[in-house]
Amino acid sequence: MKRYFITAIGTDSGKSLVSAIFTQALQADYWKPVQAGHPRDTELVRSLVSSPRSAFHPEAYCLGHPLSPHAAAKLDGVEIALSKINLPATSNHLVIEGAGGLLVPLNDQQFVVDLADKFAAEVVLVCNLYLGSINHTLLSLRELSRRLPYSNFTVRGIVFNQGPVPESERIIEQHCPYPCLLRIEKATSVDQTLVAKYAAKLRRVLSNEIED
């Protein structure tokens, strides 16, 4: 079964939307290992997915404040331990949603990207398009490429969100060694219909990789 780790170039980049699209496309299970603040992303993704085969697994850590996980954990009087974050029991494909960007700290030593490494997942980088996003995207891609030789994860590709911004997308793709899996346009509302539309597009891209 496939494991996809959905991360992004920053906070509020559209990870939950992309996670919902992947979950719907693969009829996969969904899991957010570390949640910081409310409302919970698990509930948002659940509301956007119509697949009856998808299960939504509880967080390993559900923290009370919308901060970096290491800071939220400190306020809650706990310390996030990577050793205590274990894959949920499932025989289905699994979509794992990160928190913030790659180098958001979980504790004083470890980062969100270390979750992808632990679970040997295929990383999908969500690149939302705004002034400054080229720099943030290319820095994130360089960090993934730097870690690849000594990590367990692979990089499946990128997803552009909040487009189209043709010139930004062109220059990012020119310097990106990974394929663009999906382009998500700006939308006035996000619902199950929108998710299903993009899930159908994504399923065609991933058709050679997944089994029903």
Q: Which domains can be identified in the chain, with CATH numbers?
A: 3-205 (3.40.50.300)
| The predicted structure's pLDDT at residue 16 | 97
Distance of CA 91 to the CA centre of its chain: 20
Local structure of residue 105 (DSSP, 8 states): B
Q: How confident is the model at residue 18 (pLDDT cuts 50, 70, 90)?
A: very high
Catalytic (active-site) positions: 32
What digits encode the pLDDT tens for the residues 129-155? 999 999 999 999 999 999 999 999 999
- Looking at residue 207, what is its pLDDT? 85
Report the pLDDT value the prediction gives residue 211, as an integer from 0 to 100.
59
Instruction: Round to whole Å and give the CA distance between 208 and 212.
Output: 11
Secondary structure class of 68 (helix, strand, coil): coil
Is residue 36 packed enough to be buried (19+ CB in 10 Å), middle (13-18) or exposed (0-12)? Answer: buried
DSSP 8-state code for residue 88 = P
Phi, psi of 21 (to 5 degrees): -65, -45
Kindly report, residue by residue over 67-118, the tens digit of the pLDDT. Answer: 999 999 999 999 999 999 999 999 999 999 999 999 999 999 999 999 999 9
